[in-house]
Chain A
């Protein structure tokens, strides 16, 4: 019997943090400021709250079905074939995510650092790395990413701290220059990416060591809160540094790194920051591919969960090369369609499974309450 791989609570929380922060750090601040203007940080706060609610629902199902992934307890709760249908829909978004993260990284590299290099070079190398990670398993992934997350955060913090003398806090006001609708639009964006995507992580929760459910939930909520703080600080610093130009810059954290100049000693650190941002995206892409691999392995009842690593990486690579027809189409897919797609194929299945599980628990409880009144009349006949 194959030993189940397990990781500690800290490693699981770190993986979760890498999953929700990884590519959000590159992609979110610029478009979010375009949509929400100065209320961007409020948008993140609201969608963070929604994300924490989703996490609590995931943990309700996880505690009710220890050792089972989302596919496992979904099959138990709503049946095999409805689960297969839900899983197929989930896989559409998961594959879009796995390819989209690398499309964004490739777009970043070709627009900001290496414009003459073809896309397939970045994409191919990243998927090759991801394949190596996947073959190593969740324990190797967790150990490696624990180090990478620290490196990414150090460089992120370094850029924002070195720019302190150049911030203009007056750019933060007014918070609602065009009313409340831009804030709601930003909430729509950040709900889809990254907070609605947390549902997919339910597939990885069973890999946490047993009997650690309560500290695990606390650690993961903290990971979400820290993620929210990181995104809010990035967005605020973007606004304070770039002001009205913040909405025109697609990769704002990289642009901030380009503006760092301390004496004539510390400057041109954007290459290092670019590397950190690449690492963040690679982590999220790897975890997403791992989850897709898990879903397919469970759906088809395969014993070897690493057999599908290479076909999945090839599929994701070809999707990255073929999906976006034009930049405009890609931006519309990410900024406009992505949130509603996430709501339909991630959040809705979670709510359906949770609702059915909840009503089954209620029914089971009411059946248990009725049973003792039948036993009392039989047991009370002592003479």
Chain B
């Protein structure tokens, strides 16, 4: 857990420190989008720290595509003779 916190701190400090001046000079819309994406990264950070298996991209893909994909692969797979 401590290791993960250090990793996240390093990542956020590197990312934000490089953009502080740029963000101050950016229009409001850019700042809102930037901060919106960083809020989304906080969600993934929580998932990483807690190993909580929170809903993510694969949850979306699972819901829509896993069943038909498995059907296609099962149809085309052949047991070796």
Contact = CB atoms under 8 A, between A and B. Distances in A.
B1 interface: no
Contacts of B29: 300-302
Contacts of A340: 65, 68-69, 72
Given A304-B30, A336-B73, A178 B80 contact: yes
Given A124-B7, A313-B15, A321-B48, A307 B22 contact: yes
Contacts of B40: 315
Interface string A313-350: 11101110111110001001101110111001000000
B38 A323 contact: no
Contacts of B18: 310
A179 B78 contact: yes
Interface string B47-63: 11000010011101110
**What does DSSP make chain A's interface, helix, strand, loop or mixed?**
helix
A313 B34 CA distance: 12
Interface string B8-34: 001110111011001100110110011
Given A92-B57, A304-B26, A315 B37 contact: yes
A120 B78 contact: no
Contacts of A179: 78
Interface in A266-316: 296, 300-304, 307-308, 310-315
B81 to A, nearest CB: 7
Contacts of B44: 315, 318-319, 321-322
A310 B72 CA distance: 38
A175 interface: no
Contacts of B11: 124, 314, 317
21 contacts: A118-B3, A182-B76, A185-B73, A185-B76, A296-B33, A307-B30, A307-B33, A310-B18, A310-B19, A311-B41, A314-B15, A319-B44, A319-B56, A322-B44, A329-B58, A336-B66, A337-B61, A337-B69, A339-B69, A341-B65, A341-B69
Interface of B: 3, 7, 10-12, 14-16, 18-19, 22-23, 26-27, 29-30, 33-34, 37-38, 40-41, 44-45, 47-48, 53, 56-58, 60-62, 64-66, 68-70, 72-73, 75-78, 80-81
Given A92-B57, A339-B69, 10 more contacts: A178-B81, A184-B76, A307-B26, A307-B33, A311-B37, A314-B15, A321-B44, A323-B57, A323-B58, A333-B61
